[in-house]
Amino acid sequence: MQSRLEPASLASTPRNAGQPQELRRDVPTAPVTNIQGYSIHDGPGIRTIVFLKGCTLSCRWCANPEGVLSKPEVGLIKSLCPRCGNCAAVCPQGALGFDAAGLPHIDRRRCIGCGECASVCGYHALVLYGRQMSVDEVFGAVQADKMFYEASGGGVTASGGEPLLHPEFVRALFEKCRADGIHTCLETSGSAASPALLQVLPFTDCVLYDLKHMDSDVHRQFTSAPNTLVLANARLLAESGVDFLFRMPLIPGINDSADNIRATAAFLKTLGQKAQRIELMPYHRLGESKYMALDREYTLHGLLPVGTAEAAAAQQAFEELGIECSVSA
C-alpha cells in the first residue's frame, strides 16, 4: 500500500521503543516498524498509525519497502554517516564496513538485523526497521493519544506492510481499543488469507481497502501476486456490514488507463451501493530514499509523480461511470 509517510520517518523508531521489554508468552506480539501519532490520513480524525512488518505483495511503487520483509532490517543513510567506525566495532556478524572509496556499506548476507549498530550511531545514519512488540506495549502508545481521538473523532489504524499477516495481534489490539472507546481502522491490500480478515473484522470500525489493478496478470506483474484473493476478500468485506472505503494508488502508465478505471468501476458496482465510491492516492516518490538505505533497486526511478490535472482526469472518469470519487491530499 502507498503510505504518505515522509522520508523523515526513515530514521524514526517506534514511540516508547527504548530497550525491548520482556514479552509475555500469552500476549500476542508482532514486528512493528513505526508507530506514528498525529496523522490526519488513513482514517477519520487524528490517528495513530501502527505499521506492522511483513507483506504478501511487493508493489513496485511501495513507499514502505521496510515493511515488506517480516524480519528486522537495518537501513543505512550514507549521507548522514561520519565514518566514525563505531558501528563496525560493535557488529557481532562483521557485516558493517567501508569500501575502497571510504563509503560505509552493509553486507546483507551477514546482517541479522540485531540493531547493535543503530544503538551506537549518534548520527541517525543507521536505523533498525522492525522490533517485536506486544499488544500491551502498542496499546500503551495508542492510548497515550486518546485525548486527540476524542476531540477529532480519530483513533488507531493498523497498517503495514500487511497487517492481516498478524491477525491475532491486530484483533487483540482492536479489542483493547474498542473496550477503551478508541475507534479502530484496518488498512489492507486484501492479499491475505480470508480467515485472517474475518478474524479481525468483528473489532474493526472501518476498513481502507486497496484495489491496485483489475487485470490479474498486470496485478501480478507489478505487485508479484495475482488479484484473485484481493477481489474475493473485497466481496467478503462488502457483505460484512463493516464500514469501508476502497482506495486506488494512481500510478501513471500502470493503472490509470481508461480500461482499468472502467473495470474497477464495474467491479465496485457488483458489490452494492455502499461500495460505489473510491479514493485515489496519487503516486509520489517520497519512499525512494528508503530503497537506497536498504540497498534495493527502485524500479520506478524516473517516473514522475501524478499531477493535479492527471488526478482530476481520473476522478472525472470514475464519476462519469457513476462512482463517487475523491482524491487524497
Burial of 302 (0-12, 13-18, 19+ CB in 10 A): exposed
pTM of the full structure? 0.90
Average pLDDT, whole number, for the chain? 92
Residue 299 identity (one-letter amino acid): T
CA triplet 224, 228, 232: central angle to 5 degrees?
135
- Asked if residue 10 has pLDDT above 50, the reply is no
Give dist(CA 278, CA 210) in Å, integer: 9
The domain locations on the chain are 7-68+132-327, 73-129
Q: What is the pLDDT of residues 25-40, one digit of tens each?
A: 577 999 999 999 999 9
Proportion of the chain above pLDDT 90, given as a percent: 89
- Asked if residue 1 has pLDDT above 70, the reply is no
Strand 29-39 to 131-134 pairing: antiparallel
Output b/e per residue, 94-106; b: 16+ Cβ within 10 A: ebbeeeeeeebeb
Q: What is the pLDDT of residues 109-132, one digit of tens each?
A: 999 999 999 999 999 999 999 999
Cα dihedral sign, 276-183-65-132: negative
> Is residue 277 a contact partner of residue 323, using CB atoms and an 8 Å limit?
yes
7-68+132-327: CATH topology is TIM Barrel (3.20.20)
73-129: CATH topology is Alpha-Beta Plaits (3.30.70)
Q: What is the pLDDT of residues 36-82, one digit of tens each?
A: 999 998 999 999 999 999 999 999 999 999 999 999 999 999 999 99
pLDDT in the model for residue 103: 82
CA triplet 51, 57, 58: central angle to 5 degrees?
95
Kindly state the average pLDDT of the residues 239-256: 98
pLDDT in the model for residue 14: 44
Give the residues across from 205 on adjacent strands.
none
> Is residue 104 a contact partner of residue 97, using CB atoms and an 8 Å limit?
yes
Q: What is the pLDDT of residues 253-286, one digit of tens each?
A: 999 999 999 999 999 999 999 999 999 999 999 9
- Asked if residue 2 has pLDDT above 60, the reply is no
Which of the four pLDDT bands, split at 50, 70 and 90, describes residue 101? Answer: confident
Spatial CA neighbour of 94 closest among 81, 107, 76 = 107
CA triplet 33, 157, 329: central angle to 5 degrees?
95
